[in-house]
């Protein structure tokens, strides 16, 4: 059984997934969100995900019951500050992440490692909001957290070797495989994944092929588990847009400029699987291409 206390800051999709996995694995796990509504809803959401896992035979009822006793919801950040690891999972905005880590720096003990779940923002710049730059590191999970086997460990320029090894050991304790990368725009996964996703969006705009056929080409031709447009829907088109804008600013070659179809879907509130529609319409876990707003937009271009 893992020894340690974890605080997850942010009760969105990623924060809930990370907290749920930590508690199931055996960690005493706190969750904090500044939004009172999110605070009230997070326990029910996490426990519902455990119940579905039990129904599918992926988790035992005993393990889910034990995890319920390890999961705590904090009303104030300082109430949950005495932890070994913080995983920051707030929205992808540099100033917000820096503000969160600055607040944590004031209340967490010296031993605490600050991990950011950012998918593209520079760890070194996030770390500058704290007085412990050597103990800040990127711990990038993937959605859905319980199912995806990878965690990307991102070293900031001032991250210590000890912090890196603690982060790697923590990720592995959750049953994850680890890749280690230096702090660079988009790291490895987001930079490659977004490049493929944006090109697929441009192909859809240009009428090269339908969304279903673009995805099928990569799934059957290159062995991708799911195609780049479904992947974008699962990640969240708002998240993909934010990452693309960050990469476009950091790597001003034009190749990461967000396509118009992506901006249009996000402006419509069609942010992918979580909203029920993005490049596909989502019926539970099933993606349906016909009749989607993306198909309509592509025909107009």
Nearest 5 degrees, angle CA 47-CA 51-CA 53? 115
Among residues 142, 158, 138, which one has the least CA distance to residue 150? 142
296: burial class by Cβ within 10 Å (0-12, 13-18, 19+)? exposed
Tokens at residue 53, please?
């896992």
Q: Which fold has domain 5-182?
A: Rossmann fold (3.40.50)
pTM of the model: 0.87
Nearest 5 degrees, angle CA 80-CA 3-CA 90? 40
Domains 5-182 and 189-295 in one fold: no
Helix (H/G/I), strand (E/B), else coil: 297: helix
Separation of alpha carbons 75 and 65, rounded Å:
23
The residue written with tokens 């992808």 in the block is 92
Tokens at residue 169, please?
């050991």
Given a contact cutoff of 8 angstroms between Cβ atoms, the answer to whether 130 and 158 are in contact is no
26: burial class by Cβ within 10 Å (0-12, 13-18, 19+)? middle
In the chain, where the domains are located: 5-182, 189-295
The phi-psi region of residue 187 (left if phi > 0; otherwise alpha if psi is between -120 and 50; otherwise beta) is left
Tokens at residue 73, please?
């919801």
Q: Which residues contact 2 (CB under 8 A, 6 or more apart)?
A: 25, 26, 27, 173
User: What's the CATH number for 189-295?
Assistant: 1.10.1040.10
> Cα dihedral angle (23, 89, 224, 176), rounded to 10 degrees?
-40
Q: What pLDDT tens digit does each residue of the chain (301 aa) get?
A: 567 899 999 999 999 999 999 999 999 999 999 999 999 999 999 999 999 999 999 999 999 999 999 999 999 999 999 999 999 999 989 999 999 999 999 999 999 999 999 998 999 999 999 999 999 999 999 988 999 999 999 999 999 999 999 999 999 999 999 999 999 989 999 999 999 999 999 999 999 999 999 999 999 999 999 999 999 999 999 999 999 998 999 888 888 999 999 999 999 999 999 999 999 999 988 999 877 788 788 776 5
Helix (H/G/I), strand (E/B), else coil: 223: coil
- How many residues comprise the chain? 301
Separation of alpha carbons 81 and 75, rounded Å:
12
């Amino acid at each position: 059984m893992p020894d340690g206390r974890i605080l997850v800051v942010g009760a969105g999709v990623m924060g809930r997934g990370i907290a749920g996995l930590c508690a199931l694995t055996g960690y005493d796990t706190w969750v904090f969100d500044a939004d009172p509504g999110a605070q009230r809803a997070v326990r029910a959401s996490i426990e519902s995900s455990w119940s579905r896992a039990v129904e599918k035979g992926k988790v035992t009822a005993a393990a889910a019951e034990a995890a319920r006793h390890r999961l705590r919801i904090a009303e104030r950040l300082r109430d949950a500050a005495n932890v070994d690891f913080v995983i920051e999972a707030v929205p992808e905005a540099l100033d917000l992440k820096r503000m969160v880590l600055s607040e944590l720096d004031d209340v967490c003990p010296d031993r605490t490692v600050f991990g950011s779940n950012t998918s593209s923002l520079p760890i070194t710049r996030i770390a500058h909001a704290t007085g412990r730059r050597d103990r800040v590191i990127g711990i990038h999970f993937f959605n859905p957290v319980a199912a995806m086997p990878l965690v990307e460990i991102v070293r900031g320029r001032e991250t210590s070797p000890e912090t890196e090894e603690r982060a790697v050991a923590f990720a592995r304790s959750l049953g994850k495989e680890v890749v280690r990368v230096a702090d660079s725009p988009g790291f490895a996964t987001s930079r490659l994944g977004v490049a493929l996703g944006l090109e697929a969006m441009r192909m859809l705009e240009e009428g090269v092929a339908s969304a279903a056929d673009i995805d099928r080409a990569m799934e059957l031709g290159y062995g991708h588990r799911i195609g780049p447009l479904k992947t974008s829907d699962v990640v969240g088109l708002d998240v993909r847009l934010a990452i693309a804008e960050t990469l476009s600013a950091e790597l001003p070659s034009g190749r990461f400029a967000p396509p118009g179809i992506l901006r249009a879907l996000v402006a419509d509130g069609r942010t992918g699987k979580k909203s029920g529609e993005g490049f596909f319409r989502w019926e539970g876990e099933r993606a349906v291409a016909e009749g989607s707003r993306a198909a309509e937009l592509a025909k107009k271009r």
